[in-house]
């Protein structure tokens, strides 16, 4: 998962992936429905069935192609009540884009600078005098990712309802040697984003959840989006249940299901485990915001197209996107707490029970939101990434390769 195992996979603009077709079972919004769902929905139906996803929601907003939304599956794995567009879900590491936005707003207000050393605000960070705010934003600080710590994995595996403090999370990351000297590589690390959250609280004198509410949710009129208190593991109603295949201890450790378990899961014999009550304080500034698909789509467009920063800083944010792997210039690019997915810009995330992605293509005025109620398919596929690939494959069919 993106808070515990990795950043989500990327796809270049024309490195398309084949998608199966099958009988439709999703419920779509039929009002002025555009043409593309005729091909897309059957593909998604088959893909969601094959990955044993209990429920999924897709929202597409396009001034050129038309808007479309669809829901798939049921609110509970064994239930009959359909999942709804208005259901709340955990957006997981998409929260990082919000934390990054707050930092950039404070830079815009001259409360701090991109080249400020981290030691100016968090003196406990080793070599913090040589790590900049910009390097935290771009995942190029070298700081160890606390969700790769054996101690964190053990603690979450034993008690996924535990309430964590940000200081505990940072301490787990700082207890390990860095991956590389500052600025000398790229490594997706939740430690970076939790440190940014602490700096926001330090500069504003307010809890991060209040700063999020006032500076992002209220500003964009996101009525169904919230950052809960760290002590809360409650998702507002209405919401679907969230699942993993297997037990939490093995899931957090990154262990894959045995072949016979995969076969039983696909046959419906091996049931997913309900982990809805996981406490998202394990992610805090890196992953504990809750939203709905429509709210999230509105946010994602503002994140990429503008509306939360001035034009100059917004452009600098877009310009910050650089290849995570210099040897693969057409692969995923990461910048100021945002990344690319083929020709689109945004982020994706995974937390026990929920996977999600939100991307926008400013050239085509196209927004894509996907969320699912399972963290990984039985055979280990990233559920939202696979759905996202199928969508891009259809919507960009015949387009010239242009990942910029």
Any idea what DSSP says for residue 324?
A: S
Walk me through the domains of the chain, giving residue ranges and CATH numbers.
27-395 (3.40.710.10)
Question: Mean pLDDT, to the nearest integer, of 282-307?
Answer: 98
Residue found by looking up tokens 């790229």 in the block: 186
Average pLDDT over residues 193-217: 98
Q: Kindly report the CA angle at 223 between 102 and 306, in degrees rounded to 5?
A: 40
Residue 380 is given by DSSP the state S
Cα dihedral across residues 1, 384, 286, 133: positive or negative: positive
CA dihedral 294, 298, 301, 303 (to 10 degrees): -120
What is the rounded CA–CA span in Å between residue 315 and residue 207? 28
Q: How many residues does the chain have?
A: 404
Q: Is the pLDDT of residue 27 over 80?
A: no
- Beta bridge pairs of residue 340: 345
Contact 331, 12 (CB under 8 A): yes
Banded model confidence at residue 375, pLDDT cuts 50, 70, 90: confident
Distance, CA of 183 to CA of 340 (rounded, Å): 20
Is the pLDDT reported for residue 258 higher than 60?
Answer: yes
* Angle made by CA atoms 312, 317, 323, in degrees to the nearest 5: 145
pLDDT of residue 231: 95
Sheet holding 68-73, edge to edge: 27-28, 68-73, 55-62, 366-372, 354-361, 344-351, 339-341, 333-334, 322-323
pLDDT at 32: 61
Predicted local confidence at residue 33, as pLDDT = 75
Q: How far lies 250's CA from each of 42, 79, 177, 241, 253, in Å?
A: 33, 26, 25, 20, 5
- Please, how many CA atoms are within 13 Å of residue 229, restricted to the half-sphere of its CB? 2
Nearest to 70 by CA among 303, 387, 399, 389: 387
Tokens coding 247: 């037990």
Terminal Cα-to-Cα distance of the chain (whole angstroms): 26
Q: Does pTM top 0.85 for this prediction?
A: yes
What is the arithmetic mean of pLDDT over 309-322? Answer: 98
Looking at residue 116, the DSSP 8-state letter turns out to be: -
Quick check: 338 and 100 in contact, CB under 8 A?
yes
pLDDT band with cut points at 50, 70 and 90 for residue 273? very high
Q: Taking a C-beta distance cutoff of 8 angstroms, is the pair 384, 372 a contact?
A: yes
Nearest Cα to Cα of residue 347 among 373, 317, 377, 313:
317
């Amino acid at each position: 998962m993106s808070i515990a195992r990795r950043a989500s996979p990327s796809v270049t603009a024309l490195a398309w992936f084949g998608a199966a077709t099958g009988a439709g079972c999703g419920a779509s919004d039929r009002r002025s429905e555009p043409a593309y769902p005729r091909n897309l929905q059957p593909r998604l139906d088959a893909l969601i069935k094959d990955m044993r996803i209990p429920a999924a929601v897709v929202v597409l907003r396009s001034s050129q192609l038309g808007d479309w939304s669809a829901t798939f599956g049921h609110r509970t794995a064994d239930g009959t009540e359909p999942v709804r567009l208005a259901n709340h879900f955990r957006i997981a590491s998409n929260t990082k884009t919000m934390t990054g936005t707050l930092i950039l707003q404070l830079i815009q207000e001259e409360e701090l600078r991109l080249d400020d050393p981290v030691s100016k605000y968090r003196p406990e960070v080793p070599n913090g005098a040589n790590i900049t705010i910009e390097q935290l934003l771009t995942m190029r600080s070298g700081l160890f990712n606390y969700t790769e710590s054996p101690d964190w994995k053990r603690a979450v595996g034993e008690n996924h309802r535990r309430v964590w403090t940000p200081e505990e999370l940072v301490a787990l990351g700082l207890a390990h040697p860095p991956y590389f000297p500052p600025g000398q590589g790229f490594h997706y690390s939740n430690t970076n984003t939790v440190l940014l959250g602490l700096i926001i609280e330090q500069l504003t004198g307010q809890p991060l959840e209040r700063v999020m509410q006032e500076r992002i949710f209220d500003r964009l009129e996101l009525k169904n989006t919230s950052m809960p208190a760290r002590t809360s593991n409650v998702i507002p109603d209405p919401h679907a249940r969230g699942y993993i295949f297997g037990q939490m201890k093995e899931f957090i450790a990154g262990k894959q299901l045995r072949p016979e378990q995969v076969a039983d899961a696909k046959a419906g014999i091996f049931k997913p485990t309900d982990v809805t009550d996981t406490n998202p304080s394990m992610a805090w500034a890196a992953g504990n915001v809750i939203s709905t698909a429509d709210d999230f789509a509105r946010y994602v467009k503002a994140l990429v197209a503008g509306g939360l920063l001035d034009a100059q800083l917004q452009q600098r944010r877009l310009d910050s996107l650089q290849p995570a792997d210099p040897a693969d210039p057409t692969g995923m690019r990461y910048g100021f707490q945002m990344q690319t997915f083929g020709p689109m810009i945004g982020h994706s995330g995974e937390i026990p029970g929920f996977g999600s992605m939100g991307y926008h293509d400013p050239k085509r005025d196209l927004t894509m939101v996907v969320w699912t109620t399972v963290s990984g398919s039985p055979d280990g596929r990233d559920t939202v990434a696979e759905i996202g690939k199928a969508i891009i494959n259809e919507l960009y069919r015949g387009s010239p390769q242009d990942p910029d």
